[in-house]
Amino acid sequence: MRIARPILLVSTPIGVVFGLREAWRLAGPGMALLMAAMLSVVGALVWMTVRVIRRERDAAASPRGGSPPATTPAAGRRGERS
């Protein structure tokens, strides 16, 4: 993993750019924009997942007497477990 992680961090964005370029070349700008929108949605979902994991990890590490973080969603929202 010492070498693989930096290689992936460099090669993945390069591959995404080449993929968008090929989509533009083969299917036109509509396909490239559709792929860019899909990548944006997936990236946002990954970012939100990482944010929730970090928030829960920080809440578990804090002392029990402390108040919850300010970014905690309101209780009773759909999909939230108590």
Axis-axis angle for helices 29-61, 4-27 (nearest 10): 150
The whole-number pLDDT of residue 62 equals: 83
Residues 16-72 pLDDT 10s:
999 999 999 999 999 999 999 999 999 999 999 999 999 999 999 887 645 555 665
Residue 75 corresponds to which tokens in the numbers above?
A: 């209780």
Q: What is the reported pTM? A: 0.63
Q: DSSP assignment, residue 66?
A: S
Q: DSSP assignment, residue 62?
A: S
Task: Say how far apart CA 15 and CA 17 lie, in whole Å.
Answer: 5
Sign for the CA dihedral angle at 40, 45, 49, 52 comes to positive
Domain boundary assignment for the chain: 4-48
